[in-house]
Chains A and B, each alone.
Chain A
Amino acid sequence: ETGVTQTPRHLVMGMTNKKSLKCEQHLGHNAMYWYKQSAKKPLELMFVYSLEERVENNSVPSRFSPECPNSSHLFLHLHTLQPEDSALYLCASSQDPNPTDTQYFGPGTRLTVL
């Protein structure tokens, strides 16, 4: 257990559906991250939040919409996704948004878009 939980662990959705991924960290960290991991590709940083403020958005399509209501919770709202969006979505947290700070990852949500 890393102190970072994600729900659901698996999600299958159609291209017209709207769903949300949830991440919660119990570590008292200030920074939270969303990553995407596709098959045979490197981890891709999607969003970074620091103290509930978005500090980084790596050219992610608008069909992915993050929300950080407080420093312990992070959501990723999904709508009108494409089959190529099928991937493992990982949430992470660290004390601060500094690469020298260790990031603690959740188990991930395996998303399949039909």
Chain B
Amino acid sequence: LAKTTQPISMDSYEGQEVNITCSHNNIATNDYITWYQQFPSQGPRFIIQGYKTKVTNEVASLFIPADRKSSTLSLPRVSLSDTAVYYCLVGENTDKLIFGTGTRLQVFP
């Protein structure tokens, strides 16, 4: 099973770029990488998904190296409202849907 490892927490200041890396050494060939954001007492919210190289949307960018054993979520110019837990998810089949422990991002003014 593809297990993920993320830093437990990160701190940043408003306006800075934040990069959160997720390790998934056992990622399978057909696995996609998905990142979610979760605020306290709320369900996770989809941020971005990718398979390889780089993906960018209006919220974030996702960088995936050629070996796909890790991925980096990049949040440009964070604000206080970006304070949340960020989950890295890797899975091919439903029975392999595994959320990481998450990274708690704290943004300071």
B95 in contact with A110 (CB, 8 Å): no
Partner of B49, one of A4, A100, A105: A100
A90 in contact with B97 (CB, 8 Å): no
A42 in contact with B94 (CB, 8 Å): no
Given contacts A99-B89, A100-B32, contact A56 B43 (CB under 8 A): no
Q: Mark A43-68, 1 if CB is under 8 A from B, else 0.
A: 10100100000011010000000000
Interface residues of B in 54-109 (CB under 8 A from A): 87, 89, 91-102
Given contacts A43-B87, A99-B89, contact A105 B101 (CB under 8 A): no
Interface residues of B in 13-57 (CB under 8 A from A): 31-32, 34, 41-46, 49
Given contacts A97-B94, A100-B49, contact A2 B100 (CB under 8 A): no
A106 in contact with B94 (CB, 8 Å): no
CB proximity of A97 to chain B, nearest CB, Å: 5
A107 in contact with B42 (CB, 8 Å): yes
Residues of B within 8 A of A (CB): 31-32, 34, 41-46, 49, 87, 89, 91-102
